[in-house]
């Protein structure tokens, strides 16, 4: 680490590992005007369902040997990762139509899960299936292959979870459409 890691210009993150996944490209791609849906909506729904059962690997670099010890005793972990395929200029977006859908009202980036945000540290809670030395096998991670891993934490309900969170109607609508495929 360099002396500039906590300089006034910002904080520097050094990836601790890499995601290995069959998922090769993001489901959504961001444009300057919002999020553009690359494939048709049905394809997105299908991918969304596939990701639920997708098994990925988190390869933690050997220099962090020992840092995973005991994590196998948790059923779920939080993965913090960087969307490395996101172009730098997309981080300056302020508002988007959720999932690029012009039928939904424009919202501030912090009201959405868009990866195109000022500091694109993405958070995903996933099931931990197994640990083998410095590799974790997890289920349900949306990160694409090659994503740099920023941090791994145990999922602790008192700190990270909550009972009965409520979400706006526009997001309920998206979720309902995603689920409809299966039911």
Q: Which stretch binds its own copies (CB under 8 A): 18-26, 28-36, 38-46, 74-82?
A: 74-82
Assess 146 for contact with its own copies (CB under 8 A). Answer: no
Binding to its own copies (CB under 8 A): which residues in 102-121? 105-113, 117-119, 121
Site mask, its own copies, residues 164-183, x = CB under 8 A? Answer: xxxxx--x---x--------
Cβ atoms of residues 17 and 149 within 8 Å: yes
| Part of the chain binding its own copies (CB under 8 A), chosen from 19-27, 28-36, 37-45, 60-68 | 60-68
State the sign of the Cα–Cα–Cα–Cα dihedral 15, 155, 126, 63: positive
Coil, helix or strand at residue 47: helix
Residue 33 lies near its own copies (rule: CB under 8 A): no
Size of the site for its own copies (CB under 8 A): 73
The CA distance from 183 to 178, in Å, is 10
The answer to whether 97 touches 113, Cβ cutoff 8 Å, is no
């Amino acid at each position: 680490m360099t002396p500039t890691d906590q300089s006034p210009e910002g904080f520097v993150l050094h990836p601790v590992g890499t995601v290995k996944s069959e998922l090769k490209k993001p489901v959504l791609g961001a444009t300057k005007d919002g999020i553009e849906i690359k494939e048709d909506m049905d394809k997105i729904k299908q991918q969304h369902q596939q990701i639920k059962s997708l098994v990925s690997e988190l390869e933690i670099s050997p220099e962090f040997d020992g840092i995973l010890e005991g994590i196998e005793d948790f059923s779920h972990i939080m993965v913090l990762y960087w969307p490395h395929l996101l172009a730098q200029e997309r981080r300056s977006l302020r508002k988007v139509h959720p999932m690029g859908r012009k039928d939904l009202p424009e919202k501030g980036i912090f009201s959405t899960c868009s990866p195109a945000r000022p500091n694109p540290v993405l958070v995903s809670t996933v099931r931990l299936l197994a640990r083998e030395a410095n590799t974790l096998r997890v289920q349900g991670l949306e990160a694409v292959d090659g994503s740099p891993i920023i941090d791994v934490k145990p999922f602790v309900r008192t700190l990270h979870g909550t009972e009965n969170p409520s979400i706006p109607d526009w997001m309920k609508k998206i979720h309902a459409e995603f689920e409809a495929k299966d039911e």
